[in-house]
Amino acid sequence: MNTETIYVAFRNRNARVWAPADAVHVRDNLYQILDCRGDGAATQFREGALVKCRLQRLSSGDGLVAYEAAL
């Protein structure tokens, strides 16, 4: 199982702050979060969540960002 780094937004922050998370690519733009390297309780999505990701420009360069829960 290959993991990739995706980025998950912190909740309740005035500015967008991203936490890196280890995730496995499921298919298309779907990823399952394995481990959030920030404070998981404070992030928009938690460990085990299936999320949709898109490529987005971050301060450190382009990265995959989780933007929506996959139902």
pLDDT tens sequence across 42-60: 889 999 999 999 999 998 8
pLDDT higher than 70, residue 1: yes
Who contacts 7 (Cβ-Cβ below 8 Å, separation ≥6)?
18, 19, 20, 21, 56, 58, 63, 64, 65, 66
pTM: 0.88
Q: Provide the mean pLDDT of the chain.
A: 90
